[in-house]
Amino acid sequence: MTASPQSDLSIEPGHFDRIIDRTGTSATKVQKYAGQDVLPFWIADMDFETPEFIHQAIAKRLEHPILGYTDVPKALYAQACDWLFKAHGWRVPTEWLVWLPGVVPGLNLATRATVDTGSLVLPTPVYYPFREVAHNQGVPSTELPLVRHNNRWIMDLDAMAERLPADAQTLLLCNPQNPTGRAYTVPELQALIRFCQSHNLTLCSDEIHSQLLLDETATHTPIASLDSDFAQQTISLYAPTKTYNMPGLSSAFAVIPNADLRQRFRDARAGMVSSPSVLAYAAASAAFTYEGNWRHELLRYLRSNHQQLQNLIAAELPGRATPVEATYLAWMDLTEFGIEDIHGYFLEQGLGLSDGAAFGLPGFARFNFACPAPVLERGLERLQTALRRLAKDH
Ligand SMILES: Cc1ncc(COP(=O)(O)O)c(C=O)c1O
């Protein structure tokens, strides 16, 4: 029997509708367009209050007057493992975990630890820091395009095999997928496991969006949990920061079942990548042990926002946005309009969107709909004008 979530009294009706002014906090999302009449729907953080229980955990830690160097709390290892089991049914021992200040450093370290004589491969479009890893680490890389099939973005493994360089050593996976919003199914993941095994690839899987499933029929399965032999050639990355809207409290962890690989990963970070901060530990601990219904309420809200966005696109430019199974990011195909500067085009309409070019697909735009409904409403009015103008001009 699954326990029903506790109610959380801080989630009063209208909780997610509250518009919170982020001016003066140097928030990356609003800073970019400061002083302009631009609604920011770009970087992947949410405009909702970070939940009360996270604030309380930090306040509690601040009751102690010293914020000194702090080891990863022993309890946090167990809490993260328990969370992984409860959330995704994957039982892992605490020794497999390596704490990090972020998932992006994890992608870079995984590459540093596993690509030596060969190269990196990555299905694209993908969250842009994936595309920067090869340059950062000074290794060659090849992008393997996802394809759209029945209105879903999938990995065409035959086409990927054809493009795969002979020296490929590591594949970077994003699941759930940013920006296409896919939550890969178990059969898709199993096929990818066979692909990696037959090409002898280490797999690094970024699963930061694993708890943001919008499609109620979708599931999240950690790829490394599907096959214990294959798990030996994997690095899986998680963080509580997306789900609970606290990416400014940098914290993440890697799960690395293979002891030798784990050591190489640790060696790769030595002297360069620190652990999370003392307040991030407090917040992560609260996130992993929380049993209330904040996330369920959040998902309900995001589903409604997603529906409104999809309705608008279906009415104005049908078929240009695939359904978002997970994440709070919609991916719009505007390639037929031949707009060279997608970001600039939407900026003229007062919308700060992410340009698909950064993700490896020019002509696309990504829309972050994790915001209060009244803000989304204003954004959708502007989007409607922008899409109508496109339809009219072409
Ligand atoms: C797929 C994915 N990975 C990683 C990150 C960022 O992770 P971190 O802030 O822990 O480095 C994001 C943020 O948008 C993301 O979407």
Structure tokens at 291: 């049993």
- DSSP letter (8 states) at residue 224: G
Atom of ligand 1 nearest to the CA of 105: 11
- Cα-to-centroid distance, 101 and ligand 1 (Å): 11
Residue 1 has pLDDT above 60, yes or no: no
From atom 7 of ligand 1, which residue's Cα is the shortest distance away? 103
Other beta carbons within 10 Å of 349: 18
Residue 50 has pLDDT above 80, yes or no: yes
In which band, very low, low, confident or very high, does the pLDDT at 198 lie, cut at 50, 70 and 90? very high
- DSSP letter (8 states) at residue 9: T
Pocket test for ligand 1, best of 109, 126, 128, 178 (most atoms within 8 A of CB): 178
The overall pTM is greater than 0.85: yes
Residue 9 to residues 44, 51, 227, 295: CA-CA distances in angstroms?
27, 11, 41, 13
From atom 9 of ligand 1, which residue's Cα is the shortest distance away? 102
From atom 13 of ligand 1, which residue's Cα is the shortest distance away? 44
Beta bridge partners of 352: 40
Cα dihedral 159, 162, 167, 169, rounded to 10, equals: 20
Atom of ligand 1 nearest to the CA of 45: 14
- Cα-to-centroid distance, 64 and ligand 1 (Å): 31
Which is more confidently placed, 198 or 393? 198
Residue 270 has pLDDT above 50, yes or no: yes
Interaxial angle between packed helices 373-393 and 294-316, expressed in degrees from 0 to 180 and rounded to the nearest 10: 20
Q: Which residues line ligand 1 (CB under 6 A)?
A: 44, 102-104, 127, 174, 178, 206, 208, 239, 241, 247, 252
- Cα(297)–Cα(337) distance, rounded to whole angstroms? 37
- As a whole number, the mean pLDDT across the chain is 96
- Cα-to-centroid distance, 260 and ligand 1 (Å): 26
Contact (Cβ atoms closer than 8 angstroms) between residue 141 and residue 163:
no
State mean pLDDT over 74-78. Answer: 98
Atom of ligand 1 nearest to the CA of 177: 1
- Cα(129)–Cα(60) distance, rounded to whole angstroms? 34
In which band, very low, low, confident or very high, does the pLDDT at 250 lie, cut at 50, 70 and 90? very high
pLDDT value of position 6: 55
- Cα-to-centroid distance, 104 and ligand 1 (Å): 6
Residue 4 has pLDDT above 80, yes or no: no
pLDDT value of position 3: 43
Q: Is 69 helix (H, G, I), strand (E, B) or coil?
A: coil
In this structure, what are the phi and psi dihedrals at residue 148, rounded to the nearest 5 degrees? -95, 125
- Cα-to-centroid distance, 207 and ligand 1 (Å): 9
- Cα-to-centroid distance, 105 and ligand 1 (Å): 10
- Cα(305)–Cα(308) distance, rounded to whole angstroms? 5
- In the chain, what are the domains? 15-51+293-393 (3.90.1150.10), 60-289 (3.40.640.10)
Which is more confidently placed, 362 or 6? 362
- Cα(46)–Cα(341) distance, rounded to whole angstroms? 25
8-22, 213-227, 230-244, 259-273: range with lowest mean pLDDT: 8-22
State mean pLDDT over 61-76. Answer: 97
pLDDT value of position 13: 84
Residues 97-151: tens digit of each pLDDT: 999 999 999 999 999 999 999 999 999 999 999 999 999 999 999 999 999 999 9
Pocket test for ligand 1, best of 109, 126, 127, 130 (most atoms within 8 A of CB): 127
pLDDT value of position 9: 57
Share of the chain above pLDDT 70, in %: 97
From atom 10 of ligand 1, which residue's Cα is the shortest distance away? 102
- Cα(290)–Cα(54) distance, rounded to whole angstroms? 9
Which is more confidently placed, 392 or 234? 234
Interaxial angle between packed helices 74-88 and 278-289, expressed in degrees from 0 to 180 and rounded to the nearest 10: 40
In which band, very low, low, confident or very high, does the pLDDT at 12 lie, cut at 50, 70 and 90? confident
pLDDT value of position 130: 98
